[in-house]
Amino acid sequence: MTRTGATRPHPAAPPGVSSLASIRPFRRLWIALSVSGLGHWLSVPALTAMAATLTRDDDAAARAQAVGGVLVALLVPAVLLAPFAGTLASRLDRRLTLLVADALRFVIVLSVPLLDALPWTFAAAFLVACVSVVWSAVAATAPAGLVPDELRPAARHSAARAMCWPAPVAAVVFAFVALIAKGTFGEGDRADLALYVTAGVFLVATAGVAALGEVPGTEPIGTPSPLRILFQGPRQQDVRGLGLAVAGVSLAAGAVVAVARVHTGHLGGGDAGYGAVLTGLTVGLGFGLFLGPRVLGPFSRRRLLGLAVIAAALALVVVSLVQNLVVVAFVTAFLGVAAGAAWSTAAVVLAGDEPSEDRPDAFPRSVALVTALVVVAAVPPLAGVIGSRHYDLGDGDYDFQGTGAALLIAALLALLAGLVAFRRLDDRHGVPLVADLRAALHGRVYTPPEQAVVEDRRVARRERGVFIAFEGGEGAGKTTQARLAAIWLRDHGYDVITTQEPGATKIGMRLRAMLLDRETTGLSSRAETLLYAADRADHVANVIRPAMERGAIVVSDRYVDSSLAYQGYGREQPVEEIARVNAWATGGLVPDLTVLLEVPPQTGLGRLSAPADRIESEPNEFHERVRAGFHALAEAEPERYLVLDASRPQGELSREIQYRIREILPDPIPAGTEDVTSTFPIITD
């Protein structure tokens, strides 16, 4: 009758993303930023390919180091200059900064094929990266300045997307441009085309920004130093192993990027092969980012993070040993999926109170950036030092290049990091991994047999009752409907208890006073969530479970879904995390039926007679999010919900509720009984 709460689906983006598109200045800025983002990502393969072309007559070691040098030049500003860039950007006009950044990058990138010299390629990479750091600081915040306050978190989220989604597109464009260049240009000029295309993209972006109206500088720009964040460690203290996990995947992905240009050359692919590998990596990353929070819902996120790092490392082992470009591109895509899933899972593990205000991913970002810098600086020279080895295997030769060997070393280090991180992150010690995974694949949480026996006995003793929850926004009429349902059930001879949240127990009443009193100010969203969960834990332990153990029907006015809707969707906190806290607080007790009464917030709030409490007096947007949240929860589990339009007549609603309750009663009430009972005065009252 009850089941262990599994991870619930949660929205990938904060509510409001869809309404942003209707704000014209926002939409135009978003498009301009996406075009700049495309140029930003294109400049990476274009500049590295140029370095490889300029060293085409040198040995592999020199080429690898030239490419590595460009990558270092591209990364150093992000690691060392971020705070200066932030300070500078916050003093300048936002639109002008974006405009100048695009124009400067256009000129610098255009100059590279014209000057055709390695030192200038390094310098250009460094300068482009310096400009990009200032550009990203502004781009991350500027869109939020164009929208109303309540849409700002969604706007920040959307800005981050505008900067990231062009990465795989850039890789595909680069691969195509390289193919065209191969058929059209001589060997020495092939890399030029990609640079001209990149410059062209920056020129279009410059024109796009020039056409924009004013971009107000209302949003603060915060670009803390990655090195400082790295040394401070994560804000959350209980995430041992998370930094190591992020370092492990960055090592694996960074190593591929560091040597891909030269390694694909050994495998018979030129710039187009390089583009194909980068496409695999970036498309895989995007897919993995999407997949991370959605895959294996009931499986521990910490275990998943460790496993994703191990998977990325194993993929790198294959990449380092296989001598076939197509296989390498596909396995790199798998590596990307694992790395993306690791990244988004790390963000879930770390998710904080206000994800959009105070970036919870600041720590993993810093770890990733610094690791990537070390990797691109160290792996190419390592490849050069190792050099190539030729093995005669009897029926065929095997050339093991320095780049392959360096990748193998990186893979083994990443694997070690993954294994240690898995051990440290593991929050299900002693639970066999394979059984845990298998159960998760079937949508269940694995319970070890010895625990299951105890559980089963408890279940047999205890779970004879029925649990019905009523949910909805303010003024939806659930209290009335819960009462009517209880009267109807009692009338049919059932032992029924009616109860409510918050405040059904002595402790709960105190908590309720704290939670709803308008005098309570400055309560953090996290504390609020925990106070509701504490009330619920006490409620379940002292009211609901005892009643169910004696076989009663429990009718509760609000339960866990209220926290998911109000604290999760309403306060824009991670819904999945709140579901976990509540699953723990309630011992996994889930209602057999949840009746959701839907009413537009304005109508519901208008029905209230008493002065608004702390939650009721939240702005309309908050209540809209709560409503959307309830809706999403009901859609995710339709078999458990009865969703009703609360504006319908009370009698009709009661009848529909009774009809549905009848289906879940242990000893169903024969149809037709209502004809007699509904004439009882207490019901018709």
Give the binding site for ligand TMP (CB under 6 A): 474, 501-502, 516, 532, 558, 562-563, 566-567, 615-616
Q: What values do phi and psi take at 470, rounded to 5?
A: -110, 130
Q: Which is nearer to ligand TMP, 324 or 650 (CB)?
A: 650
* DSSP classification of residue 57: T
Residue 60 CB-half CA count within 13 A: 23
Shortest CB 473 distance to ligand TMP, Å: 8
Q: Which is nearer to ligand TMP, 380 or 502 (CB)?
A: 502
Nearest partner of 642 among 620, 659, 624, judged by Cα: 659
Task: With beta carbons less than 8 A apart as the criterion, state whether 55 and 70 touch.
Answer: no
Shortest CB 326 distance to ligand TMP, Å: 53
Can you say how many angstroms the Cα of residue 98 is from the centroid of all Cα atoms in its chain?
27
Q: Which is nearer to ligand TMP, 278 or 533 (CB)?
A: 533
Shortest CB 566 distance to ligand TMP, Å: 3
**Three-state SS at 418:** helix
**What is the rounded CA–CA span in Å between residue 616 and residue 613?**
5
- Looking at beta carbons, which residue is closest to ligand TMP? 566
Length of the chain: 685
Task: With beta carbons less than 8 A apart as the criterion, state whether 1 and 467 touch.
Answer: yes
**Three-state SS at 644:** strand
Q: Which is nearer to ligand TMP, 446 or 566 (CB)?
A: 566
Q: Which is nearer to ligand TMP, 280 or 604 (CB)?
A: 604
Shortest CB 497 distance to ligand TMP, Å: 17
Can you say how many angstroms the Cα of residue 263 is from the centroid of all Cα atoms in its chain?
32
Q: What values do phi and psi take at 467, rounded to 5?
A: -120, 120
Task: With beta carbons less than 8 A apart as the criterion, state whether 636 and 8 touch.
Answer: yes
Shortest CB 153 distance to ligand TMP, Å: 19
Shortest CB 3 distance to ligand TMP, Å: 20
Nearest partner of 591 among 470, 504, 496, 468, judged by Cα: 468
| Sequential DSSP letters for 221-286 | P----HHHHHHH--SSTT-TTHHHHHHHHHHHHHHHHHHHHHHHHHTT--HHHHHHHHHHHHHHHH
How many of the other CB atoms lie within 10 Å of CB of 80?
A: 16
Fill in the amino acid letter for 110.
L
Shortest CB 4 distance to ligand TMP, Å: 20
**What is the rounded CA–CA span in Å between residue 540 and residue 424?**
32
Q: Which is nearer to ligand TMP, 37 or 502 (CB)?
A: 502
* DSSP classification of residue 567: I
Shortest CB 38 distance to ligand TMP, Å: 43
How many of the other CB atoms lie within 10 Å of CB of 213?
A: 11
Q: Is 300 left (phi over 0), alpha (psi -120 to 50) or beta?
A: beta
Q: Which is nearer to ligand TMP, 474 or 577 (CB)?
A: 474
Residue 472, H or E segment: strand 466-472
Locate tokens 């260049």: which residue? 181
Q: Which is nearer to ligand TMP, 382 or 579 (CB)?
A: 579
Shortest CB 7 distance to ligand TMP, Å: 18
Shortest CB 6 distance to ligand TMP, Å: 19
Q: Which is nearer to ligand TMP, 337 or 560 (CB)?
A: 560
Q: Name the token pair of 96.
A: 């002008």
Shortest CB 474 distance to ligand TMP, Å: 6
**DSSP E strand stretches across 59-142:** none
Nearest partner of 162 among 334, 13, 358, judged by Cα: 13
Task: With beta carbons less than 8 A apart as the criterion, state whether 467 and 589 touch.
Answer: yes
Shortest CB 516 distance to ligand TMP, Å: 6
Helix and strand counts by DSSP (H, E) for the chain = 29, 7
**DSSP E strand stretches across 316-430:** 389-392, 397-400
Shortest CB 366 distance to ligand TMP, Å: 34
Q: Which is nearer to ligand TMP, 79 or 615 (CB)?
A: 615
Q: Which is nearer to ligand TMP, 240 or 506 (CB)?
A: 506
Three-state secondary structure of 652-682: HHHHHHHHHHHHHCCCCCCCCHHHHHCCCHH
Nearest partner of 587 among 433, 470, 459, 482, judged by Cα: 459
Shortest CB 105 distance to ligand TMP, Å: 48
Q: Which is nearer to ligand TMP, 615 or 661 (CB)?
A: 615
Q: Which is nearer to ligand TMP, 26 or 532 (CB)?
A: 532
